[in-house]
Amino acid sequence: MDKQQKLRNTAEGLLAGLIAIGFQGPWRWSHHRWEEAFCQAWGAWEPAKDPQVFRTFSMGGSANGRTSQAREIFSAVKRTSPFAEYNREPLNRAPRGLTPEDYLATCVEGATPQEWMDLARAFLQEMGEPIPDRHVTLS
């Protein structure tokens, strides 16, 4: 995977993981608010250590070409993505007509659906946001 593919994979995995745990969106946080929380959750997430699938993220990125700023993940979300409107509308609860879990299993690489959901929970926890009750928000 090249850099853009890794970024897109991360963005779509995180967003689908958030949907799978009941987050509805839209993503309304400024990068100043969410980047540190994301980097904390990402750094503790075991699958993130695979350089074949994932970028390394740090505050401010780096000049070495291997480390990105967290905000770069959303620049890789294309118009053809089921999450293209992630920051303007509620997140697509049926990406490509699939459940979020099925989307994570078939369209995103590098982690299991449960691992993506664990990342989403860790991110919301780092943000100080409540973890949604999936049965209430997606029913």
Mean pLDDT to the nearest integer, 21-39:
92
User: Average pLDDT, stretch 118-125?
Assistant: 97
Which pLDDT value is given to residue 130? 86
pLDDT at 32: 85
> Is 61 or 44 the better-scoring residue by pLDDT?
44
**Which tokens sit at 131?**
């973890």
Number of C-beta neighbours around residue 114 at 10 A: 13
Is the pLDDT at 40 greater than 50, yes or no? yes
> pLDDT per residue over 53-88, tens digit each?
998 887 766 656 666 788 899 999 999 999 999 999
Q: Which amino acid is at 110?
A: G
- pLDDT band for 139, please (50, 70, 90 cuts): very low
Percent of the chain scoring above 90 in pLDDT? 75
Is pTM beyond 0.85? Reply is yes
Question: Which CB contacts under 8 angstroms, 24+ apart, belong to 87-96?
Answer: 87/26, 87/27, 87/28, 88/26, 89/25, 89/26, 90/24, 90/25, 90/26, 91/15, 91/18, 91/19, 91/23, 91/24, 91/25, 91/26, 91/27, 92/19, 93/19, 93/24, 93/138, 95/12, 95/16, 95/19
Give residue 134's pLDDT: 65
| pLDDT beyond 50 at 136 | no
Position 56 scores a pLDDT of 87
Q: For residue 137, what pLDDT is reported?
A: 37
Tally of domains within the chain: 1
When computed from its CA atoms, the radius of gyration of the chain, rounded to whole angstroms, is 14
CA distance 106 to 100: 10
Domain that holds residue 38: 3-137
Provide CB contacts within 8 A for 97, sequence distance 6+: none
What is the rounded CA–CA span in Å between residue 137 and residue 18?
A: 12
Residue 47: DSSP 8-state:
G
Of 131 and 47, the one with more pLDDT? 47
